[in-house]
Homo-oligomer: A and B are copies of this chain.
Amino acid sequence: MSSVLLLSCPDQPGIVAATAGFIAAARGNIVHAEQHVDRIGDSGEAVFFQRVEFDLPVDGPTPERFLQQFDEVARRFDMGVDLRSTDIATPTAILASRQPHCLYDLLTRWRSGELPIDVRLVISNHDDHADFCRHLGVEFVHLPVEPGSKQSQEDEMRRVLDTAQVDLVVLARYMQILGSAVIDRFPMRIINIHHSFLPAFVGASPYRQAHDRGVKLIGATAHYATAELDDGPIIEQDTAHVTHRDDVKRLTAKGRYLETIVLARAVRAHVEHRVLVHGRKTVVFS
What is A's interface to B at a CB cutoff of 8 Å? 11-17, 19-21, 23-24, 27-42, 49, 100-101, 104-105, 108, 111-114, 132, 135-136, 196, 198-200, 208, 211-217, 219, 221, 233-239, 241, 243-245, 247, 253, 256-257, 280-284, 286
Query: 5 closest pairs, A vs B, by CB?
Result: A135-B135, A214-B281, A17-B20, A16-B20, A17-B24
Give the chain B neighbours of A35 by CB distance below 8 A: 30, 32-34
**Given the contacts A111-B104, A198-B219, A34 and B37 also touching, CB distance less than 8 Å:** no
Sample of 16 more A-B contacts, CB < 8 Å, known A17-B20, A32-B35 = A13-B24, A13-B28, A20-B21, A32-B37, A33-B35, A34-B34, A36-B245, A41-B212, A135-B135, A212-B280, A215-B237, A216-B234, A216-B237, A216-B284, A243-B286, A286-B286
- In the bound complex, how far is the Cα of B107 from the Cα of A104, in angstroms? 10
A17 surroundings in chain B (CB, below 8 A): 17, 20-21, 23-24
Chain B residue at smallest Cβ distance from A238: B217
In-complex Cβ contact of A199 among B13, B111, B200, B211 (8 A)? B200
Q: For the complex, what is the distance from the CA of A90 to the CA of B218, rounded to whole Å?
A: 28
The complex places the Cα of A30 from the Cα of B49 at a distance, in Å, of 12
Bound-state Cα–Cα, A219 to B198, Å = 8
Nearest residue (CB) in B for A12 is B29
Q: Which residues of B contact A196 (CB under 8 A)?
A: 198-199
Given A21-B17, A24-B13, A199-B200, decide whether A280 and B104 contact each other with a Cβ distance below 8 A.
no
Partner of A114, one of B14, B234, B256: B256
Q: How far is the CB of A11 from chain B (nearest CB, A)?
A: 8
